[in-house]
Amino acid sequence: MTWKKFNGEILQTPILSEVEQAIEREYNQGNKLKVCIGTDSQVKGTVTDFATVIVFLREQKGGFMFIHQERTSQKMSIKERMLAEVQKSIETAYSLCDLLDLYDVDLEVHADINTNPQFKSNAALHEAMGYILSMGFVFKAKPEAFASSACANKMVH
């Protein structure tokens, strides 16, 4: 699984090592961190592009992120696609949660799902929420889900 920085630079070591190095570097600079993980997708013809982001927020000092992109030609309903986004975010969160606990870094999983029932993505909301919360993660949906709706969104458009 290839991860890269926002500037396109590909990370050379496993994501777990990169995250640990980032946390240690930030802590050594006196920054308190929070990590938000989110995924967004976009359908282009017969192809769906997914982007998962790990966003590091420094308390009152901006932030940075790591990005993973993938593409599938599997046909999905909007609900399946929303749940696939959540699945990708949870897999990433799960792989990092022990490390984040070790360093006492708060973690949120962001879902690009609208809480307004008039939007199609809302059909997946309850399942996604139940899934994320049952895994023990803090859940944010739109409009608070900036990791997926703003950060990951930029990477699939």
Where in the chain are the domains? 4-156
pLDDT higher than threshold 90 for residue 18: yes
pLDDT higher than threshold 90 for residue 5: yes
Average pLDDT over residues 81-85: 91
Q: What is the pLDDT of residues 120-151, one digit of tens each?
A: 777 778 888 888 888 889 888 877 877 776 77
What is the per-residue pLDDT for 9? 96
Q: What is the pLDDT of residues 98-108, one digit of tens each?
A: 999 999 999 99
CB hemisphere CA count around 130 (13 angstroms): 5
The predicted model scores a pTM of 0.88
